[in-house]
Copies of this chain bind each other. A is one copy, B any other.
Amino acid sequence: MNEAEKVLDFNLWQACAGSMARIPPVNSKVFYFPQGHAEHTLIDVDYGVLPKVPPVILCRVSSVKFLAHLQSDEVYAKMKLVPIRDEDDGDDDLEAWETNDSSPRFSSLAKILTQSDSNNGGGFSVPRYCAETLFPPLDYASDTPLQTLAMKDIQGKTWNFKHIFRGSPKRHLFTTGWSVFVNKKQLIGGDSVVFMKGENGDLSVGIRRYQRGGFGGPPSLSRWKSTAGKEGDKSSSGDSADSFMEAVSLAAKGKPFEVVYYPRSGTPEFCVKASSVSDAMRIAWHPGMRFRMAFETEDSSRISWSIGTIAAVQATDPAHWPDSPWQCLQVTWDEPDQLQNVKRVSPWLLDLVSNMPIIQIPQFSPPRKKLKLSHHPQFPLDDQFQMPFVQVNNNSFGPNGPLTCCLYDNIPLGIQIPSSIQGARHPLFELPFSGLHLTNDLQFRGFQPIFQRLDLDLRLDNSSKELEKMADIKKPSFKLFGQQIYIEPEIQTGQENSQGCSSDALSDVVQTDKSDGNPVETEKIEVNQRSIFSSGNVWNLNFPPDEHGDDTGHCQAFLDSDNVGKTLDLSATRSYEELHQRLAAMFGLERSEMLSRVLYQDAMGIMSETGNEPYSEFMKTAKRLTLILASSS
């Protein structure tokens, strides 16, 4: 795999990789996570020989190759990364990300192979839509419409399939040629084929191997390494271990290194767009937060979103990677069927759901006296944390209300959560996946202490086991601490939600703190916190007046019927024109659609229409944008 690295047709590569795959463009900045790299390679890291290396390393991508495994056709990307210092930035080539994101998807269709497709008979049932949209038209006048389709696989090899339309009822079938393809590619039921029509009409065929472990499982490559031989699995992991060690060793020295990523491995990307990580780490992640996360549907045909709740924030492997944000969020999912075995995620994969209350973490302040934490003396914090205020929408137990409830969480903590929720230095909610300009005040060294603080807040949380048990309990209700809790998984998304955000009746607030019922175990100064957060439109109420903050201009942008916002730095834009341009890129819209209407709210929640005042004024005032699409206006 060294020299013969012929860069492949990117479109087919992307079609095989799936729409979730986001390979960073050349010259972009990414954070490299050695821990994620190790997980991806499925090796047991020998920490005895692993050089000391930080858990995240800011890098610039110096080259990307889109490749496919010679034996299995499995797609992967090989990236060269150059560690850089914060100062050594130079603007991230955001355009590249944007175009990468919104690159014209060539028409491609995938089908999961059935037993009949892959086992015997040598035939393949072509989905009608596939035959009619991708393949050249058949002569339906004929008794048995017939054609031979030639398509190239990702290695460039051509395969011929006899395509016939017959039977009663009539259907599209591949006959001759199909079984040789299945045999040569060693396809089994559950694997997918991807047909793609290129710009010039040429057809391609790609394959996606069935992922046994599901999301989070091992790459199906293991199916491959062991062909004909017996115990080849380890051989590949040996090589991977070597390349991993090499990468980390070089990264530790600040030298350029190379990584390989199989987008269909099921393990999350370990080279993540730097701004996504930065943005995500500006958020004070906290148990109880509600979020949504994108994932690929089982048939890989589209992206779906799953709603979940943060159960705990804790470094995955504190022994080896203390303070690593990598998959630091333990989560539970509203729908336990999906993502069942995804217990932990990384913050930058999540979108916070807007209709929920705010939990504010107080501003970092210099230590006054040392906190007695025997095993974590490196965190000299003794702020007096108090219980956060807690809100519950009073109709959260109703069957179809617009609210979602979730619960929390006793935090055995030598700390009280403060009631002062004002004066947070950073915006409280910064949403990832935005194509934002990097704010240089929040690079790695910047957010590290923030994260450490969060870590301190939450790593002592012992309730996560309870929460995991909880996740196994079926809807619609379960008991926790003897109290029956109902979960309503549906979230109402709709125009009334976003459009009426300033005028809807405010959610009622119900104090459900249970500390009055259960005596607090004061010996450990333990705070038994259990909260039910409502999803009412409390956003406006608690919007922090941060005109005096150093990040004036940061703003949440919401798209019409969506309740997920993206963060926007208005000070990085100098005119309404530029703003429209950026918003169009962020939401993948035509710029002309921007012209329709952009509403905004100020810190008090008062809504205005854009364009009525100078941009400079608007920039300071606007705290929340809502894009009303032309079609819905």
Residues on A close to B: CB < 8 A?
Answer: 1-4, 6, 70-71, 155-157, 184, 227-235, 237-239, 241-242
Contact = CB atoms under 8 A, between A and B. Distances in A.
Given A71-B228, A230-B155, A235 B4 contact: yes
A230 B157 contact: yes
A42 to B, nearest CB: 12
19 contacts: A1-B239, A2-B234, A2-B235, A2-B238, A2-B239, A2-B241, A3-B234, A3-B238, A4-B230, A4-B231, A4-B233, A4-B235, A70-B229, A70-B235, A71-B229, A155-B230, A156-B230, A157-B230, A184-B228
Contacts of A71: 227-229
A156 B230 CA distance: 9
A228 to B, nearest CB: 5
Contact of A3 (B4, B184, B237): B237
B3 A232 contact: no
A184 B228 CA distance: 7
Contacts of A6: 231
A48 to B, nearest CB: 16
A3 B235 contact: yes
Nearest to A240: B2
A184 to B, nearest CB: 7
Contacts of A229: 70-71, 155
A626 B495 CA distance: 108
Contacts of A233: 4
Given A4-B234, A157-B230, 19 more contacts: A1-B235, A1-B238, A1-B239, A2-B237, A2-B241, A3-B235, A3-B238, A4-B231, A4-B233, A4-B235, A4-B238, A6-B231, A70-B229, A70-B235, A71-B227, A71-B228, A155-B230, A156-B230, A184-B228
Contacts of A155: 229-230
A3 B239 CA distance: 9
Contacts of A4: 230-235, 238
Nearest to A229: B70
A394 to B, nearest CB: 60
Contacts of A231: 4, 6, 70
Contacts of A230: 4, 70, 155-157
Contact of A70 (B184, B232, B242): B232
Nearest to A242: B2
Contacts of A2: 234-235, 237-239, 241-242
Nearest to A241: B2
A228 B70 contact: yes
A181 to B, nearest CB: 12
A6 B235 CA distance: 11
A234 B70 CA distance: 11
Nearest to A2: B238
Cβ-closest 4 pairs across A and B: A2-B238, A70-B229, A3-B234, A4-B231
Contacts of A238: 1-4
A611 B418 CA distance: 104
Contacts of A234: 2-4
A450 to B, nearest CB: 40
Contacts of A184: 228
A70 B226 CA distance: 8
Contacts of A70: 228-232, 235
A156 B231 CA distance: 11
A246 to B, nearest CB: 10
Contacts of A156: 230
A325 B232 CA distance: 39
Nearest to A184: B228
Which of A156, A157, A231 is most buried by chain B, counting CB atoms within 10 A of its CB? A231
Nearest to A231: B4
A71 B6 CA distance: 24
Contacts of A3: 234-235, 237-238
A7 to B, nearest CB: 13
Nearest to A70: B229
A209 to B, nearest CB: 14
A232 to B, nearest CB: 5
Contacts of A232: 1, 4, 70
A71 B229 CA distance: 5
A440 to B, nearest CB: 38
A155 B226 CA distance: 12
Nearest to A246: B242
A489 to B, nearest CB: 45
A305 to B, nearest CB: 38
A431 to B, nearest CB: 43
A235 B6 CA distance: 11
Nearest to A69: B229
A251 to B, nearest CB: 19
Nearest to A225: B70
Nearest to A71: B228
A231 to B, nearest CB: 4
A26 to B, nearest CB: 23
A391 to B, nearest CB: 54
A237 B4 CA distance: 10
A238 B5 CA distance: 11
Contacts of A242: 2
A153 to B, nearest CB: 10
A186 to B, nearest CB: 8
A156 B229 CA distance: 10
